Amino acid sequence: MNILIVDDKPDNLYLLEVLLKANGHTILSAANGEEALQTLQTEGVDLIVSDILMPVMDGFQLCRRIRADERLRHIPFIVYTATYTGPKDEEFALKIGADSFLLKPCEPDVFMATIDEVMAASRSRDPSRAPAPAPEGEVLKLYSERLVRKLEKKMVDLEAEIQERKRIQEELRQSEEKYRTLVENAEDIVCILQDGQFKFQNQRFEALLGYNPGELINQDFMELICAEDRAMVMERIRRILDGDPRGTPISYRIVHKTGQFIWASSTASRVMWEGRPALLTFIRNITRQKEIEEQFHHAQRLESVGRLAGGVAHDFNNMLGVIIGYAELAKLKIDPQDPLSENLEEILMAARRSIDITRQLLAFARKQATEPKVLDLNRAVEDMLKMLRRLIGEDIDLSWKPGESLGLIRIDPSQVDQILANLCVNARDAISGVGKIVIQTENARFGKDYCMDHPDFIPGEYVLLMVSDTGCGMSRETMARLFEPFFTTKEVGKGTGLGLATVYGIVKQNGGFIHVYSEPGMGTTFRIYLPRHSEAAPLADAEVIGESAMGHGELVLLVEDEPAILNMGKQMLETLGYRVLATADTDEAMTLAERHAGQISLLITDMIMPKMNGHDLAARLCPRYPGLKTLFISGYTTDIIDPAGLCGNGVHFLQKPFSVHQLATSVRKTLENSP
Ligand code: ADP
Ligand code: MG
């Protein structure tokens, strides 16, 4: 058979040609309807197989033209198409005179069977009754219907595509928003480093380091790191890029845009960024933690120095007691006109000055004997003002701003004096020429939250004593060592370095804390917070001292493990007119008490002794010998050796070292006032 294939696609033409040739047919081809009509003018054709969509003239038109042409209308016509808008297409093709409608791609068997069917139908058909095309009007209607169908289908497809795109876009936006929320709201800096440079930074970067977002993109990360820490950071980066597991965070200093250091703790992990290895880095600001750590270490250092200083001062104090005691005894025994008397007086004066220094050390170490009283800080300051004015001289203006409705505090009044004197003298020394010192008081309170951030602070109600000056201020280095005993920036002979150590000790002993603010050239402010006392202030104790300081032959049991003090105490007491049983051993003390049962009027005992402490000794002897009175002596403060606070409630206490006069007074007081 001679078969004419009409298709604008060469590939389609070729495939059909191969198939039909293989089945023994001769093939003619045309690229569109127009070409096909031309071919039909000259060639005899037995069958036409035509595509629908073609340029110049489509398959439907070609079919209509053939069916309208007397000479051609008998040729069977198969529509073979890939464009299918629905079953109406086939209906339409048949209406305009096609013999069959096939959809591409079609199995060769089916295709060949269709050709056979069409040919058989055509042969059995009366050639004069070849299929006639539908009338023009109907065709146009069918055409436009088909077009509308096609368009409608396109529209539906387009709409579906739009919806699908929208869905994806949305989804994309949602997931991007989620990631943005995570990254941009993180407390830590999140950044990407590649080839040592920033490729991405979240907003925290600006808040923590002062650089605008994007300002550092493509800048070297290392330039932001404190020079001393660079090697360590580089090493860690190298290890992570080499595939080492993440490991523990590292701490290093980053330079803020203003030039200040920020302590950072960071972790990093290897990621791919735009196709190449990079570091995903998290950076946390730990500056505050570092400060708190530093403060803690500072406090620890002071504690240990305090313990050391206190221990030394305690032993030294005992020796001073011995020196003073013997010098006093010697003085009592020689004629006041004797030239040696003056020498002894010099020894006594030097020893007393040394006691002041050891007192300061003991105060720093919180071992000084104190007599806390409930008092009004405003009154205590006012009582001192005259003295302070004299202390600071006329060039410096001292102004006093008492706080209103100020709470009460419980402290040894002499300690307030010591604090004020030390702070004012320091302020005076810091002012060259004319300047101003302000003393101010007010109530203060700290909540839990505040104290969490300030490890030195304890929540509660406080009374604030503030001393500020317009002096030279302090460097960071000085601030760091301010409270250390013996730390001074003053010339030899001018400063002892014990002033602030003492203030620190006093404040700590009273449960308070100190805050210092100072900058070089900008003056200094000391804030001292002392716990507010809740009870009403009792009336000040009346000083009761016995008329006669001398003894009348009363028998005294003296127990003291330090032999030098024991001997001295014995001599002092005998000089004062007492009879003395002296021992360094508590067991022997018990034996002595038994042997002199009922004769002993007074037990004088050291508090801290190796075998048994003074308390326990007294607790054993007193119930056994009614009328026996007790005087405790110790180099420690009452709050260390007497946490129960028995001293002052009928229990008598004498701080070592003591003078003959102090001993005389304490002994009389104990004998006459004990219950
Ligand atoms: P000292 O006064 O004997 O030097 P302190 O313990 O009282 O010892 O003070 C220690 C150091 O603290 C001082 O030498 C000084 O450098 C510094 N200092 C204390 N108070 C002030 C102040 N108000 N202004 C400036 N520096 C001060
Ligand atoms: Mg000082």
Sheet holding 276-285, edge to edge: 197-201, 189-194, 276-285, 261-273, 250-255
Choosing from 392, 423, 426 the residue with most ligand 1 atoms within 8 A of its CB, the one to mutate for a pocket test is 426
| pLDDT for the residue numbered 77 | 93
Indicate which residue's Cα is closest to atom 2 of ligand 1.
495
CATH numbers and ranges of domains, the chain: 2-132 (3.40.50.2300), 181-285 (3.30.450.20), 369-542 (3.30.565.10), 547-671 (3.40.50.2300)
* pLDDT tens sequence across 620-648: 988 888 888 999 988 765 555 555 555 45
Give all strands (DSSP E) within 274-425, no chain letters: 276-285, 373-376, 396-401, 408-411
Choose the weakest-confidence range: 96-100, 247-251, 335-339, 510-514: 247-251
- Cis amide prior to 277 (ω within 30 degrees): no
* pLDDT tens sequence across 533-592: 875 433 333 233 344 678 888 999 999 988 888 988 998 898 888 999 999 999 999 999
Indicate which residue's Cα is closest to atom 18 of ligand 1.
426
**Cross-strand bridge partners of residue 262:** 254
* pLDDT tens sequence across 239-287: 888 887 666 789 999 999 998 889 999 999 889 999 999 999 999 998 8
Question: How much of the chain exceeds pLDDT 70, in percent?
Answer: 92
HSE toward the beta carbon, residue 104, CA cutoff 13 A: 18
Banded model confidence at residue 318, pLDDT cuts 50, 70, 90: confident
Contact 638, 370 (CB under 8 A): yes
Ligand 1 pocket, CB under 6 A:
422, 426-427, 430, 469, 471-474, 478, 482, 487-490, 495-497, 499-501, 524
**Helical axes 339-364 vs 287-333, angle rounded to 10°:** 160
DSSP 3-state assignment of 518? strand
Banded model confidence at residue 665, pLDDT cuts 50, 70, 90: confident
Task: Work out the end-to-end distance of the chain between its first and last CA atoms, rounded to an integer number of angstroms.
Answer: 147
Ligand 1 atom closest to 484 (CA): 6
Task: Give the span between the Cα atoms of 71 and 587, in whole angstroms.
Answer: 152
Ligand 1 atom closest to 496 (CA): 3
Banded model confidence at residue 27, pLDDT cuts 50, 70, 90: very high
* Better-predicted residue by pLDDT, 398 or 215: 398
For ligand 1, the distance from its centroid to the CA atom of residue 428, given in whole angstroms, is 10
* Better-predicted residue by pLDDT, 649 or 539: 649
For ligand 2, the distance from its centroid to the CA atom of residue 497, given in whole angstroms, is 6
Question: How much of the chain exceeds pLDDT 90, in percent?
Answer: 37
Neighbours of ion ligand 2 (CB under 5 A): 426, 499
| pLDDT for the residue numbered 545 | 32
Task: Give the span between the Cα atoms of 55 and 598, in whole angstroms.
Answer: 142
Task: Give the span between the Cα atoms of 287 and 473, in whole angstroms.
Answer: 24
Provide mean pLDDT across the span 56-77: 89
Structure tokens at 530: 């002392």
| pLDDT for the residue numbered 546 | 40
Banded model confidence at residue 469, pLDDT cuts 50, 70, 90: very high
Choosing from 428, 500, 524 the residue with most ligand 1 atoms within 8 A of its CB, the one to mutate for a pocket test is 500
Structure tokens at 443: 């109530």
Task: Give the span between the Cα atoms of 366 and 374, in whole angstroms.
Answer: 19
Reduce the secondary structure of 140-154 to three states and give it as a string: HHHHHHHHHHHHHHH
Banded model confidence at residue 412, pLDDT cuts 50, 70, 90: confident
Banded model confidence at residue 660, pLDDT cuts 50, 70, 90: confident
Average pLDDT along the chain: 85
Closest-lying ligand to the alpha carbon of 487?
A: 1
Neighbours of 258 (CB within 10 A): 7
Choose the weakest-confidence range: 168-182, 206-220, 307-321, 324-338: 307-321
Asked whether residue 220 carries a pLDDT value surpassing 50, the answer given is yes
DSSP string, 615-657: HHHHHHHHHHSTT-EEEEEESS-HHHH-TT--BTTTBEEEESS
* Better-predicted residue by pLDDT, 118 or 137: 118
Give residue for tokens 């006669």: 548
Structure tokens at 186: 């993180």
Which of 29-38, 66-75, 564-573 shows the highest mean pLDDT?
29-38
Provide mean pLDDT across the span 300-323: 80
The β-bridge relationship of strands 2-6 and 26-30 is: parallel
Backbone angles phi, psi at 583, to 5 degrees: -150, 150
Banded model confidence at residue 458, pLDDT cuts 50, 70, 90: confident
| pLDDT for the residue numbered 130 | 60
For ligand 2, the distance from its centroid to the CA atom of residue 484, given in whole angstroms, is 12
